[in-house]
A and B are shown apart, each in its own frame.
Chain A
């Protein structure tokens, strides 16, 4: 017993120290290296279609339309945006610009700042358990991609909900934010679902029952930055399109920073000590632009019957 107590007296401070050290470690971010040319996942003849870096000569984009087919007015050229309003991130926001693959939709190959593209610095800092979980996952995108008929991606295999934070990290395109004094509500086009961020001063639940989107609270840290904490997410969901795993210990921070009236930056940081040795940045100041108030979001639904039809007509025949 004395021996046990002595060990415990040593171990407790050690554990506290290590947990402190972990908390102090800066999140891993991919933003340190500049690469020239295509990422490894796009290189070589067999991978040439993985990136949108090459345009077809002579093609041109038609004016953008929304889901009603109504033209979307292009942003006024040379006109400076008004300052950001105080404590207001409401509106419909769309990804501004393209990622390293040339896609305007962010997260095709995994979390926007850490895509599974063959660059070692884009691999999250897995623990042993995390790496094993990652290798059990069989995504259809990224460096470990398998044919669609062989995937175990809960989203692509069953039309399961993406869950949070995959809501943010999977093919981010447009979201609509609604605000009340108590809530910020995120409307996601994917499966037309919403997520409530409570801004009424409540704390996160201490021992939450998991839900697909977890439990989110947010607060304004300055006039234009709304910071959201989330826990209680369902560990059956994946973090992203590349099959990165998470556990029930996952904590997510979203930082919505409205730069000016028309522009916002979204940063998403993940902390899951079971799966990752330190926090990592999954979206790093992702640029978003404000869409016109009459812009109508897409309908992007996973239909189980249509997925089954696709599987029987396309996915399965081509792997036999």
Chain B
């Protein structure tokens, strides 16, 4: 689980020095490498212990990769002024996701930064 910081105005993905930690640790992820992709939301699941975001990324040749990335549980973000709500994302929304990805190459990741359709930037930075 982790918190999100909303940056209401910023649309810039900032230096990748921001902290990140999840309920289940990050031993299976490659923390030395970050990946940023743009995609289209297919499902947003607010859940314990992790909320899950499913989104599709289409490359130049039309190949589609179905990504699933974990975020924080709704309960731990409030001290930073953020609530992970069911209305935060919906299928069809365009998002930019910066994430730490699985070491084994599966399209699975842990969100580090997420640009919402309205331009808000969410940053994962609490366990």
Q: A residues bordering B, Cβ < 8 Å?
A: 45-67, 69, 94, 102-105, 108, 139-141, 145-149, 151, 156, 171, 173, 189, 298-303, 306-307, 309-310, 313-315, 317-320
Once bound together, how far apart are the Cα atoms of A303 and B45, in whole Å? 14
Q: Are A60 and B7 CB-contacts (below 8 A) given A189-B75, A317-B108, A318-B108?
A: yes
Query: Are the C-beta atoms of B127 and A171 separated by less than 8 Å?
Result: yes
Taking CB atoms and an 8 Å cut-off, the chain B residues in 37-82 that contact chain A are 45, 47-50, 52, 68, 70, 73-76, 78-82
Residues of B contacting A63 with CB < 8 Å? 81
Interface of B is mostly: loop
Number of B residues whose C-beta is below 8 Å from A? 55
**What 6 pairs across the A-B complex have the smallest Cβ distances?**
A62-B81, A147-B28, A140-B25, A52-B19, A318-B102, A148-B24
Query: Are the C-beta atoms of B49 and A310 separated by less than 8 Å?
Result: yes
Residues of B contacting A156 with CB < 8 Å? 23-24
Q: B residues bordering A, Cβ < 8 Å?
A: 1, 5-8, 10, 12, 14-15, 17-21, 23-32, 45, 47-50, 52, 68, 70, 73-76, 78-83, 100, 102-104, 106, 108, 112-113, 121, 123, 125-127
Once bound together, how far apart are the Cα atoms of A148 and B112, in whole Å? 18
Q: Which among A53, A61, A298, A320 is the interface contact of B81 at CB below 8 angstroms?
A: A61
Residues of B contacting A47 with CB < 8 Å? 31
Residues of A contacting B75 with CB < 8 Å? 67, 189, 298-300
Query: Are the C-beta atoms of B19 and A53 separated by less than 8 Å?
Result: yes
Residue with the highest number of chain A CB atoms closer than 10 Å, among B19, B20, B106: B19
Q: Which among A51, A53, A140 is the interface contact of B24 at CB below 8 angstroms?
A: A140
Once bound together, how far apart are the Cα atoms of A139 and B27, in whole Å? 10
Once bound together, how far apart are the Cα atoms of A55 and B118, in whole Å? 23
Residues of B contacting A171 with CB < 8 Å? 127
Residues of B contacting A65 with CB < 8 Å? 78, 81-83
Q: List 15 A-B contacts (CB under 8 A).
A: A46-B30, A49-B21, A50-B26, A54-B17, A55-B18, A59-B123, A140-B24, A140-B25, A145-B25, A145-B27, A173-B76, A298-B75, A310-B52, A317-B104, A318-B103
Q: How many whole Å from B116's CB to the nearest CB in chain A? A: 14
Q: How many whole Å from A146's CB to the nearest CB in chain B? A: 6
Residues of A contacting B102 with CB < 8 Å? 317-318
Once bound together, how far apart are the Cα atoms of A50 and B106, in whole Å? 22
Query: Are the C-beta atoms of A54 and B19 separated by less than 8 Å?
Result: yes
Once bound together, how far apart are the Cα atoms of A303 and B76, in whole Å? 15
Residues of B contacting A140 with CB < 8 Å? 24-25, 27
- Which residue of chain A has its CB nearest to the CB of B46? A306
Query: Are the C-beta atoms of B19 and A58 separated by less than 8 Å?
Result: no
Query: Are the C-beta atoms of B19 and A102 separated by less than 8 Å?
Result: yes
Residue with the highest number of chain A CB atoms closer than 10 Å, among B79, B100, B102, B106: B79
Once bound together, how far apart are the Cα atoms of A45 and B68, in whole Å? 24
Q: How many whole Å from A103's CB to the nearest CB in chain B? A: 6
Q: Are A66 and B78 CB-contacts (below 8 A) given A49-B31, A104-B126, A147-B28?
A: yes
